Chains A and B, each alone.
Chain A
Amino acid sequence: MFRDLRILFAIALFVFSAVQMEAQCFSYARGVCKTELKEFVHDGNYNATVLTEGESAEIYKTFFSGQEYRVIVCKVDSLPPVSFQVIDEEDRILFDSKKQGGVNVWDFKVETSQQLVIRVTVSEKDKSSKEKIAGCVSILFGIKRD
């Protein structure tokens, strides 16, 4: 009986934890990531989710000519490093954060309007391990102020 209750309690705690993680994503995106936009104004769109080690997420966005954008990819401290790539419609990699020392902030000037994909990948600490860490990853876009 007590064992059953303990299991139920543990399960409830897990569920609560998952919901909490999603909710904390917003606080994290707003409180931590957004501050790195600095001289760029945040476009107001909220892109954040909980990712697990080894997972990727893609975001499709049209970038308009004559604009300068700042892309910020943030992750909670508990997650292993996260990298991002900017990819064109023919799946060619235009930018890879790993080649720039694993940066999480980069600026993009667009001379011709394009739909591009930002692919974000969480690295794996130990590929053979069945226990994977999950945490919030946020991708924010800023537009250069006048």
Chain B
Amino acid sequence: MRRLLNIPVSFVLLFGIALFVTSCGYDSSKANKEHEITVEAAKKVNEKAMEEFNKSKLIFYSLPSPLETAMLIKRAGAVYDEDLLNPTGNLNKYTTNLKKALNLGIYSADLSYTSLFDQTQSTVKYMANAKKLADGLGILNAIDENTIKKLENNMNNREVVLDIISETFMNSNAYLSEENRPVMAVSVLVGGWIEGLYIATKLTKGSLVNNKKLIERIVYQKLSLYTVLNLLEQYKGNGDAEYLQTKMKELKVIFDQVKIRNISKVEATTDVKNKVTTIKADSEVDISQEVYDKLIKKVDEVRTEFIS
């Protein structure tokens, strides 16, 4: 085993692909001709695979997860509004993999939101929906019956509930990534992100002044949007990714009119004893009421399309 681990991964991958392509093309009656084709095909496949492989392992983009988004909303002093959630009865509408993935993210965001506000019955209902969508996507054991039972048994222990939500989200995310279904993994993230943005914008009731902390959270989603676009850019050529990219670019047109800039250098102060580094900078943000109105409308439009 140790010896195997000493082999560079890129070498193993190249060898594996070459073996796969060679074995697929083998036919003794046409050996010479096919050999040429196989070599050419192998070269192209290898180059493309290596490019993808290197790209994917060198750069990651981490979006705020549904759980983090819900925490940001709650800590901004927002209230709970059940009417904002995607109704659980919509579940049967989701028949394509893209819709299942998007709404797995959306229901994950909803269940994170319900759990942070101790709406335990709703949390269980939304978890059940998330389970059905995860099952529909073939994500094995991401959310099993034990998860639901554990959730029901710990409904009054928010910390355990948060851990269960975090665990199930990680399971889905990891399963899709490792099963080489990265576009579906990204779609779950995009669904969760847009739902968080939808809930946050709706909770402000269109006002830029009622809850400035929540507005700040919303404005800074401009940075997350660039992360989403970078993520999707990696899967150009995939129809689902291109569809999501189009939707996100519609949002970008509006977010581009939001100004965020650091007016001082980013400073970091490290407290060695407590192992904490504090990061700060003076920054300016600017969003007009007109732009905010457009943003609310566009987020609503995109989210409505996702849940329909």
- Contact A56/B58 with A11-B15, A15-B19, A112-B283 known, Cβ cut-off 8 Å: yes
A133 to B67, CA, bound (A): 35
A141 to B12, CA, bound (A): 30
Considering the complex, which residues of chain B in the window 43-64 have a beta carbon less than 8 Å from any beta carbon of chain A? 56-64
- Taking CB atoms, residues of chain B closer than 8 Å to A56 are 58
Considering the complex, which residues of chain A in the window 17-38 have a beta carbon less than 8 Å from any beta carbon of chain B? 17-18, 21-23, 25-26, 29-30, 34
Closest to B57 in A: A49
B216 at the interface (CB under 8 A from A): yes
A65 to B68, CA, bound (A): 13
Chain A: interface secondary structure?
Answer: mixed
Q: In the complex, which of the residues A8, A52, A63, A103 contacts B8, with contact meaning CB atoms closer than 8 Å?
A: A52
A145 at the interface (CB under 8 A from B): yes
Judging by beta carbons under 8 Å apart, are A46 and B173 in contact? Answer: yes
- Taking CB atoms, residues of chain A closer than 8 Å to B166 are 41-44
Report the minimal beta-carbon distance from A28 to chain B, rounded to whole angstroms: 11
Judging by beta carbons under 8 Å apart, are B62 and A135 in contact? Answer: no
Closest to B68 in A: A43
Considering the complex, which residues of chain A in the window 89-113 have a beta carbon less than 8 Å from any beta carbon of chain B? 89-90, 92, 94-95, 100, 103, 105-113
Considering the complex, which residues of chain B in the window 138-197 have a beta carbon less than 8 Å from any beta carbon of chain A? 159, 162-163, 165-170, 173-175, 177-178, 189
- Taking CB atoms, residues of chain B closer than 8 Å to A57 are 57-60
Considering the complex, which residues of chain B in the window 191-228 have a beta carbon less than 8 Å from any beta carbon of chain A? 213, 216-217, 220, 223-224, 226-227
Judging by beta carbons under 8 Å apart, are A21 and B5 in contact? Answer: yes
B266 at the interface (CB under 8 A from A): yes
Judging by beta carbons under 8 Å apart, are A60 and B61 in contact? Answer: yes
Closest to A57 in B: B58
Closest to A134 in B: B9
Closest to B1 in A: A17
Name the residue in B265, B268, B282 with the highest tally of chain A Cβ atoms < 10 Å from its Cβ: B268
- Taking CB atoms, residues of chain B closer than 8 Å to A64 are 64, 72, 217, 220
Judging by beta carbons under 8 Å apart, are B277 and A103 in contact? Answer: no
A51 at the interface (CB under 8 A from B): yes
Count of B interface residues, CB-CB < 8 Å: 70
B71 at the interface (CB under 8 A from A): yes
A141 to B64, CA, bound (A): 10
- Contact A43/B64 with A12-B19, A94-B268, A112-B280 known, Cβ cut-off 8 Å: yes
- Taking CB atoms, residues of chain B closer than 8 Å to A72 are none
Judging by beta carbons under 8 Å apart, are B60 and A58 in contact? Answer: yes
Q: What bracket does the count of chain A residues touching chain B fall in?
A: 35 or more
A64 to B196, CA, bound (A): 14
Judging by beta carbons under 8 Å apart, are A106 and B61 in contact? Answer: no
B13 at the interface (CB under 8 A from A): yes
Q: In the complex, which of the residues B62, B72, B280 contacts A45, with contact meaning CB atoms closer than 8 Å?
A: B62
Judging by beta carbons under 8 Å apart, are A52 and B9 in contact? Answer: yes
Report the minimal beta-carbon distance from A23 to chain B, rounded to whole angstroms: 6
- Taking CB atoms, residues of chain A closer than 8 Å to B58 are 55-58
Q: In the complex, which of the residues B7, B60, B71, B227 contacts A47, with contact meaning CB atoms closer than 8 Å?
A: B60
Report the minimal beta-carbon distance from B191 to chain A, rounded to whole angstroms: 13
Closest to B272 in A: A100
A128 at the interface (CB under 8 A from B): no
User: Using an 8 Å CB-CB cutoff, how does the interface string of B228-272 with A read, 1 for contact, 0 for none?
Assistant: 001000000000000000000000000000000010011010101
Judging by beta carbons under 8 Å apart, are B227 and A60 in contact? Answer: yes
Judging by beta carbons under 8 Å apart, are B60 and A62 in contact? Answer: no
Considering the complex, which residues of chain A in the window 52-97 have a beta carbon less than 8 Å from any beta carbon of chain B? 52, 55-68, 78, 86, 88-90, 92, 94-95
Closest to B280 in A: A111
**What 9 pairs between A and B have smallest CB-CB spacing?**
A44-B169, A15-B16, A111-B280, A94-B268, A61-B62, A46-B174, A59-B60, A88-B266, A44-B65
B interface residues (Cβ-Cβ under 8 A, vs A) = 1-2, 4-10, 12-13, 15-16, 19, 56-68, 71-72, 75, 159, 162-163, 165-170, 173-175, 177-178, 189, 213, 216-217, 220, 223-224, 226-227, 230, 262, 265-266, 268, 270, 272, 274-283
Q: What are 8 A-B residue pairs whose CB atoms fall within 8 Å in the complex?
A: A17-B7, A29-B174, A41-B166, A45-B65, A78-B2, A107-B277, A112-B283, A135-B5
